[in-house]
Structure 1
Amino acid sequence: MHNLPFQFIEYRGIMACFEYLRPSVQQVSRNTAKADILKLYELEKKKIKNVLATSYGTTSLTSDLWTAINSDGYLAITAHFVNRDWILRKYILCLSYMHSPHTGVALADKIYDVLNDWGIVEKLSSLTLDNASANDVCVQYLNENF
């Protein structure tokens, strides 16, 4: 919620607060918290992969690449599809750091890697991007290499 690091749970004041509120709760280290969150992520990813794999139709993607104030690039990719019950679903498949330079080929490679990782390369029906010039190269590269 507040973009605090995992180390937050090891702050003396926070530990004292937890101890005061519920002395019987066993406190964990930041490494344990991180490991637990990564396990939960993998479990949820597996569930979503199954939903994507068992959907009857195709999947559409939307993607955006933006640069933060410190010049770091970030890429978001969202999948949109209709599930078995004919309900429109969407899942964020990727929200990650994007290494420079942000060329169309680099973007296409990243998008393809995400599609491959989620097992939906063959289910892709459309890709919606903004009007950045690198996106034209990205789409051309994906069309030529699919």
Structure 2
Amino acid sequence: MCKSNLSYKTSSSNLKKHIQKKHSTVTITFLESKRSTVVTQHKENSQNKESIDNDRPSTSEVSSVNCVEGRTALVKSSTNKSHQDQTRVDNYFRVPPKISVRSKHNLDKKLLGLFIKDIQPFSVVDDIGFREFVLALNPSYELPSRHIISKTLIPALYEECLTNTKTIINTGRTFCITTDAWTTINNVSYVGVTAHFLDSEFNFKSILLECSATDMRHTAENLAEDMKRVTRDWQIENRVIFAVADNAPNIQKALQQIGWRHMGCVAHTINLIVKDGIKNDEILSVLEKIREIVSHFKKSTISNNKLMKY
């Protein structure tokens, strides 16, 4: 229109005020969809309107068209940018697909191997590094808490294992029992009982029936009662034909009370033979020299380092 230069930053307020003040014959219309400002000029009569339609556009109309096209291009560009931004946000907050119940169950069983095979503490599932490692492997898998592991998953797996083991034991017709009793360096007494048998397909099987701590003395009567209880719980009490144990008097007497035939442990017998054989004076003298040599290297770091480099 008047080709004046106006200052603008983020809005068209200066242009609007200028038009209202200097060009009163011009009206301003706002498009609802694009919020674009279209400038149109009132026409004095129908003749001027016809001439505008037939001849080339006036300055005001050209300005109006340029304004609309510019705003349209701006809106289109903004729309594309917003679409790109929205895509990036969606990708960032993308929710991983849920895993099936079967897959969750299989992963839980593999997790239990940490505690059953590697004797790891249940608290490992609370370690930050371990949780980040599992998340990187499978973002869809949610680690169970240590309380769920100890109160639910481990007992359930124990019952499953117990049922399967009883099924296997039922395939045996006769059994051999091996047993041993010992005391740890912490003064905790243990008794272990293992069953050996051939299954229906003539495959050799060995199953640990029980290894439990006991506060009773390792007398013949206590050992006999404990072994009878274990075999009774597994329903094989009447199918045991003999038992293998060391040559300790309390074990031999306990097996006699139960009525099982006793066979001495070969490894224990060989150990007794070796202990009796090294009581020779010449052998004891050699052993004493060996002990002194070992003691020297254990006490001297310098000597031990030289020995390691030799």
Q: TM-score band, normalised by the shorter chain?
A: 0.7 to 0.9
Q: Secondary structure at the match of 1:19?
A: helix
User: Match for residue 59 of structure 1?
Assistant: 175
- Give the alignment partner of residue 40 of structure 1, picking from 149, 152, 157: 157
Gaps of 5+ in 2: 1-116, 261-310
TM-score (norm 2): 0.42
The alignment status of 1:26 with 2:135, answered yes or no, reads: no
Does 1 or 2 have the higher relative contact order (CA < 8 Å, sep 6+)? Answer: 1
| 1:88 matched to 2:223 | no
Instruction: Using structure 1 for the length normalisation, give the TM-score.
Output: 0.83
Report the CA distance shift for 1:133/1:87 in structure 2 as closer, same or farther (over 3 A).
Answer: same
Q: Bigger radius of gyration, 1 or 2?
A: 2
Maintained 8 Å contact 1:66/1:74: yes
Q: Equivalents in 2 of 1:113, 1:49: separation in Å?
A: 16
Q: 1:107 to 1:12 in 2, by over 3 A?
A: farther
Determine the structure 2 residue equivalent to 1:120. 236
Check the 8 A contact 1:72/1:98 in 2, yes or no: yes
- % identical equivalent positions: 28
For residues 43-69 of structure 1, the C-alpha deviation after alignment (integer angstroms, 9 at most, x for no partner) is 2221221222233x2111111222211
Deviation at 1:72? 1.0
Name the structure where helix makes up a greater proportion of residues: 2
Tell me how far apart the structure 2 counterparts of residues 10 and 74 of structure 1 sit (CA, whole Å).
Answer: 32
Aligned partner (choices 252, 255, 273) of residue 139 of structure 1: 255
Contact 1:63/1:128, CA 8 A, preserved across alignment: yes
Tell me which amino acid in the other structure corresponds to 1:58.
T
Q: Tell me if structure 2 keeps the 8 A contact 1:49–1:119.
A: no
Q: Deviations over 1:48-102 (max 9, x none)?
A: 21222233x2111111222211111222211111111112111111122222322
- In 2: Cα distance, 1:5 partner to 1:104 partner: 37
Deviation, 1:7, is 2.7
Amino acid at match of 2:163: K
Residue 2 of structure 1: how far off its partner (Å)? 4.5
* Helix, strand or coil at the partner of 2:170: helix
How many Å apart are 1:133 and its aligned residue? 2.7
**CA contact under 8 A between 1:64 and 1:130: conserved in structure 2?**
yes
**Cα distance in 1 for residues equivalent to 2:219 and 2:124:** 37
Higher strand share: 1
Instruction: Specify the SS of the correspondent of 1:54.
Output: coil
Paired letter, 2:192: A
Separation in structure 1 between the aligned mates of residue 217 and residue 124 of structure 2, nearest angstrom: 33
Work out whether residues 59 and 79 of structure 1, in 8 Å CA contact, stay in contact via their aligned partners in 2. Answer: yes
Distance 1:131 1:11 in 2: 48
CA distance in 2, matches of 1:81, 1:69: 33
Count of aligned pairs: 143
> Runs (4+) of structure 1 moved beyond 6 Å?
none
How large is the RMSD of aligned CA atoms in angstroms? 2.1
